[in-house]
Amino acid sequence: MLEKVDLTKKLSKSDYKVRMPQLRRRLYDLQKACWDASIPSVIIFEGWDAAGKGTSINVLSQRLDPRGFKLHAVQAPRTYETHMPWLWRFWQKLPNYGEMAIFDRSWYGRVLVERVESLTPEEEWRKGYRDIINFERTIADDGYVVIKFWLHISKKEQQRRFKKLEKDPLESWHVQPEDWEHHRKYEQYVLAIEEMLERTDTEWGPWTIVEATNRFWARAKIFETIIQRLEEALQARGLDLPAEPPSDEETVEPEAEQFDPAQDEERADGALTEMSLAELGLTPRVVKALQQAQVTTVGGVVKRLAAGDEGMLELDGIGLKSLAEIKQRLASLDESQPSAGGEGEEEELC
């Protein structure tokens, strides 16, 4: 099954920049429509280590109304949770009607890591298939939209990403010894994954395999799949879909919490154009990474951020922590500038 997945699929950066603003706005409008219609949704991210689950969730959640969704990073059950039926802890995390719940890993660990690493007796993880199907069928019958993603990369690509992460002192913590152990058992996991996909792909909870070698392709496919499923849910209830903006309409991204490069891009044409990175107060490592990418002024940083966080994260040596440092420095610089004023408010969920 997985050997037939075309991992060479990709989306150019220019096409990505054209498509993503529209997809983000469309998803925001559908989130609002599902809130009004009391349609809950459960979005599950499963996939290989270093396949991009975390960054995909980050991009997905950036333009959602935070009052309308919750993110659950699932880890091993706590001691008291082991005394309950194994799905009990996931029942507690289901969203209210109209809200979204995003799961970074989920109940599928029962038939994946717990199976391959022999953490659960075979009799128990085999029962897990039935439990999962019944669980998803129950919530789907109650009106939940169940959206499931498997982010797929090759063993060679996973190894390349591990090594790249380990070279970055700010990102190396992402790769633990157990990740390399899972990597060595790649073929065993393939067998478990294929059985999981085959046995739990249902009408009410279909799997979407995401070719995740190219991050632009993966993110666009994730957005398009969620949009399609939410539109189908609204139409199944006889509700009108929110109007789509014209394809040539320039979509204005919502303001970032600390710094909005899209609104302040024009500042790069003024004094910021000549301001050096050293004047911004960045750490030497971040300055070196930016200079290697030929970004030598604060104005260049602002212009790159104007395309979204992806424009900065694609640089070698720039991770989420480095991005946060850059935004924090720009925010402190922004406080010393006159306020632009006149900013509009985004439509609320409530």
What pLDDT, on a 0 to 100 scale, did the predictor assign at position 307?
A: 61
Q: What residues are paired with 311 via a beta bridge? A: none
Domain positions in the chain: 2-236, 265-332
Closest CA to 103 of 63, 67, 152, 60: 60
Closest CA to 65 of 110, 119, 29, 93: 29
Stated pTM of the model = 0.71
User: Maximum distance among all alpha carbons in the chain?
Assistant: 68
**Most confident segment among 112-116, 293-297, 339-343:** 112-116
CB within 8 Å of 154: residues ≥ 6 apart: 7, 213
Q: How far apart are CA 191 and CA 282, in angstroms?
A: 46
- Residue range 213-262, pLDDT digits in tens: 999 999 999 999 999 999 999 999 999 999 886 664 454 444 444 444 44
The class (CATH top level) of 265-332 is mainly alpha
Token pair 């010894």 in the structure block, residue:
177
Judged against a pLDDT cut of 80, whether residue 337 lies above it is answered with: no
What pLDDT, on a 0 to 100 scale, did the predictor assign at position 122?
A: 96
- Residue range 54-112, pLDDT digits in tens: 999 999 999 899 999 999 999 999 999 999 999 999 999 999 999 999 999 999 999 99
Residues of the chain with pLDDT > 90, as a percent, come to 66
- Topology adopted by domain 2-236: Rossmann fold (3.40.50)
Judged against a pLDDT cut of 60, whether residue 291 lies above it is answered with: yes
Which token pair is 39? Answer: 């349609």
Residues of the chain with pLDDT > 70, as a percent, come to 82
In this prediction, residues 166-174 reach a mean pLDDT of 88
Strand 145-152 and strand 41-47: pairing? parallel
Residue bearing the bigger pLDDT, 333 or 72: 72
